């Protein structure tokens, strides 16, 4: 028997069940009736019938142009990375640059990584900028993000853009905006650009074409200038000559480092550079990994296999836009291990501080910078060596801003954060895995020349300055409700902070959103002299520190754990380090994570 009832489209039924806001439907209608490609409209109609949930997620909000730009899943809709959201963001950024630099020739540099559609998005960005009367320097092909930062400064540009989603999964892409110092946007420019971007209400307001003659392609000259800059960061080129056969294994994990990193290592003088062939091809699908992130052991698996197979001295891996570096070394038992970002930073900071002193090039006004969630061991090393160590909010834009504020008073040496990022020297203003790889190989050569390894050097540092162990837990909350759940978690910790963890009292609470540090022993409250940021830190009586921070680029909340102890004898390292691991486990358990 055939029913006479009228079939209600699934999309309409779903809308009624969920009470979908009229505003979402209006956005969908504006795309169906507006100046959008036919293929885009066909995709929307298909989603209406086949996947209304995804369609709602694609339109329920506008993809936010945050303080670092855009990052999101690629696809149709206002909450996705696509031709139109990229074009509208670029129009807003162009409008702001023209307001900031009136009556001037405005220049921008544009780069992109190996992700799917990155070249297309970079070309759209170039075309919109050029159509707005701006001179554009577009790299001929994919290049590392740090090279863009250097090029902005080297060519005296007023701004820059790189199309990348850094280490995110393959479904993602993004758009990072830079200002004339080569750093990402900081106040007041970040909020002002957001205002300009939000003011673009229609794709019809975007100048899509008309300035092709203003686009200049960058190639070998720009590469050579960057390589020369990195080469000058070497402290001991003579040691490299003695250890030029250092056996290096490198993987770009299908990203932009595939050519630039080996070229820089050769420029430094290293001759035994072995690449992971399966991961050398730039490929936005990242076919050999789940996540193209050197923080993940799975992404470094092929590199570890190669390093073991050829008995290498060091393994290095970089993420798709080559601003993060992962490091593998042999431990005291000959087993290959991956260093965490804090350990890599400790080795790099300590090396530059020690090496500059030994070489006689240290300056009285040298300073280093780290983020508030990066190991405090760096603060101790700097203090013992009478060097200022400044702490800033998470993100290299804050390191760049600090350098800018002190460039006529103090001399910047190195900055870093626990998320596998280092920035060496002041010729660029973003984290740079290319120069980090070169410096880490120089460090390995220096230690090998003394009959040591980077791992034994790390233990030596622990023995001298104190034993630290760190751990990171990331909790992902996807979908429409994810951000709300994360906000609720932070609110709960803010209103009812833990009083003790793993049997140790919490003696201090640092609330960077409210810019207050509270001493729980006496109730005294001090002001935190940093910009507002949604970060909470709990300091325990024994010096342990736990930080909670929602990610600014992903639907995640991150918990950072740092515990410390003493290491009186290097031979006891394994036991002492394991004991700190047990302590972290106990704290995690008490937090119900």
SS (H, E, C) 423-479: EECCCCCCCCHHHHHHHHHHHHHHHHHCCCCHHHHHHHHHHHHCEEEEEEEEEECCC
pLDDT for 11: 43
pLDDT for 4: 33
Q: Tell me the sheet residues that pair with 539.
A: 508, 545
Which is the catalytic residue, given 118, 149, 166, 456?
A: 166
Of the candidates 319, 309, 190, the one whose C-alpha atom is nearest the C-alpha of residue 251 is 319
pLDDT in tens, 68-126: 789 999 999 999 999 999 999 999 999 999 999 999 999 999 999 999 999 999 999 99
Q: Across the 593 residues of the chain, what is the mean pLDDT of every consecutive 10-residue run? A: 36 44 88 94 94 91 84 95 97 98 97 98 98 98 98 98 94 97 94 93 95 97 98 97 98 98 98 98 97 95 98 98 98 96 98 97 97 97 98 95 95 97 97 98 98 97 97 84 86 93 96 95 93 95 95 82 93 96 96 91
Q: Which two tokens stand for residue 180?
A: 């004339």
The continuous run of DSSP H or E covering 90 comes out as helix 83-100
Of the candidates 71, 289, 24, 292, the one whose C-alpha atom is nearest the C-alpha of residue 176 is 71
Q: How many helices (H) and strands (E) are present in the chain, helices listed first?
A: 19, 23
Query: Residue ranges of the domains in the chain?
Result: 1-60, 64-218, 226-465, 468-590
Q: 313: which residues sit within 8 A by CB, 6+ positions away?
A: 246, 247, 248, 444, 448, 453
List of long-range contacts for 411-414, beta carbons under 8 Å, 24+ apart: 411/363, 411/365, 411/366, 411/367, 412/367, 412/368, 412/369, 413/352, 413/353, 413/356, 413/366, 413/367, 413/368, 413/387, 414/348, 414/349, 414/352, 414/368, 414/369
Question: Residue 415 half-sphere exposure, CB side, CA atoms within 13 Å?
Answer: 29
Q: 391: which residues sit within 8 A by CB, 6+ positions away?
A: 369, 370, 371, 372, 379
User: Rounded to two decimals, what is the model's pTM?
Assistant: 0.93
The answer to whether domain 64-218 and domain 226-465 are alike in fold is yes
Q: Is the link from the previous residue into 388 a cis peptide, with omega within 30 of 0? A: no
**Is 168:255 a contact under the CB 8 Å cutoff?**
no
Is 166 an active-site residue?
yes
Residue 364, SS3 per DSSP:
coil
**Is 346:391 a contact under the CB 8 Å cutoff?**
no
Q: Is 330 buried (19+), middle (13-18) or exposed (0-12) by CB count in 10 A? A: buried
Q: Out of 3.40.120.10, 3.40.1360.10, 3.30.2350.10, 3.20.20.70, which CATH number does the structure's domain 226-465 have?
A: 3.40.120.10
pLDDT for 61: 87
pLDDT for 242: 98
Which homologous superfamily is 64-218 in? Answer: Alpha-D-Glucose-1,6-Bisphosphate, subunit A, domain 3 (3.40.120.10)
Q: Which two tokens stand for residue 99?
A: 């307001």
Q: Give the residue carrying structure tokens 């909340």.
A: 557
- Domain 468-590, second-level architecture: 2-Layer Sandwich (3.30)
Q: Which two tokens stand for residue 298?
A: 């799975």
């Amino acid at each position: 028997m055939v029913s006479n009832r009228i079939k209600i489209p699934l999309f309409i039924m779903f809308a009624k069940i969920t009470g979908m806001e009229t505003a979402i439907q209006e956005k969908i209608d504006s795309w169906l009736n507006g100046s959008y490609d036919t293929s885009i409209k066909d995709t929307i109609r298909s989603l209406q019938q086949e996947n209304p949930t995804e369609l709602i997620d694609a339109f329920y909000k506008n993809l936010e142009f945050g303080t670092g730009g855009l990052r999101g899943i690629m696809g149709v809709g206002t909450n996705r990375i696509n031709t139109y959201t990229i074009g509208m963001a670029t129009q807003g950024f162009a409008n702001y640059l023209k307001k900031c630099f009136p009556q001037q020739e405005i220049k921008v540099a544009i780069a992109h990584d190996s992700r799917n559609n990155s070249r297309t998005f970079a070309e759209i960005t170039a075309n919109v900028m050029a159509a707005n009367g701006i001179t554009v320097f577009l790299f001929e092909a994919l290049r590392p993000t740090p090279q863009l930062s250097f090029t902005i400064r080297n060519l005296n540009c007023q701004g820059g853009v790189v199309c990348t989603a850094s280490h995110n999964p393959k479904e993602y892409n993004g758009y990072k905006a830079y200002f004339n110092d080569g750093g990402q946007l900081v106040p007041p420019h970040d909020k002002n650009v957001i205002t300009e971007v939000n003011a673009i209400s229609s794709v019809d307001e975007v100048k899509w074409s008309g300035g092709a003659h203003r686009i200049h392609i960058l190639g070998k000259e720009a590469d050579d200038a960057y390589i020369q800059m990195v080469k000058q960061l070497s402290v001991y080129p003579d040691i490299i000559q003695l250890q030029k056969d250092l056996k290096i294994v490198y993987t770009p994990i299908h990203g932009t480092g595939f050519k630039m990193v080996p070229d820089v290592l050769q420029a430094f003088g290293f001759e035994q550079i072995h690449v992971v062939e399966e991961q050398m091809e730039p490929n936005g699908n990242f076919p050999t990994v789940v996540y193209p992130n050197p923080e993940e052991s799975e992404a470094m698996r092929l590199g570890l296999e190669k390093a073991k197979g050829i008995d290498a001295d060091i393994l290095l891996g970089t993420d798709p836009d080559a601003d993060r570096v992962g490091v593998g070394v042999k431990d005291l038992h000959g087993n290959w291990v991956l260093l965490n970002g804090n350990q890599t930073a400790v080795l790099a900071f300590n090396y530059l501080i020690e090496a500059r002193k030994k070489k006689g090039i240290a300056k009285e006004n040298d300073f280093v910078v780290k983020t508030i969630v990066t190991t405090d061991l760096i603060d101790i090393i700097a203090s013992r060596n009478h060097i200022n160590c400044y702490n800033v909010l998470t993100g290299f834009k804050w390191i760049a801003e600090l350098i800018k504020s002190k460039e006529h008073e103090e001399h910047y040496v190195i900055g870093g954060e626990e998320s596998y990022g280092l920035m060496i020297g002041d010729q660029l203003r973003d984290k740079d895995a290319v120069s980090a790889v070169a410096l880490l190989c120089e460090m390995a050569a220096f230690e090998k020349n003394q009959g040591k390894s980077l791992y034994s050097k790390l233990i030596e540092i622990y023995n001298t300055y104190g034993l630290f162990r760190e751990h990171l837990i990331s909790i992902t909350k996807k979908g429409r409700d994810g951000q709300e759940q994360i906000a609720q978690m932070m609110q709960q910790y803010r209103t009812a902070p833990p009083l003790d963890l793993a049997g140790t009292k919490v003696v201090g609470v640092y609330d960077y959103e409210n810019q207050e540090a509270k001493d729980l022993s006496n109730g005294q409250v001090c002001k935190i002299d940093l910009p507002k940021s949604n970060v909470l830190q709990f300091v325990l009586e024994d010096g342990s520190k736990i930080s909670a921070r929602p990610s600014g680029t992903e639907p995640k909340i991150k918990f950072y754990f740092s515990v410390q102890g003493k290491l009186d004898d290097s031979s006891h390292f394994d036991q002492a380090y394991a004991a700190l691991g047990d302590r972290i486990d106990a704290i995690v358990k008490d937090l119900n994570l």
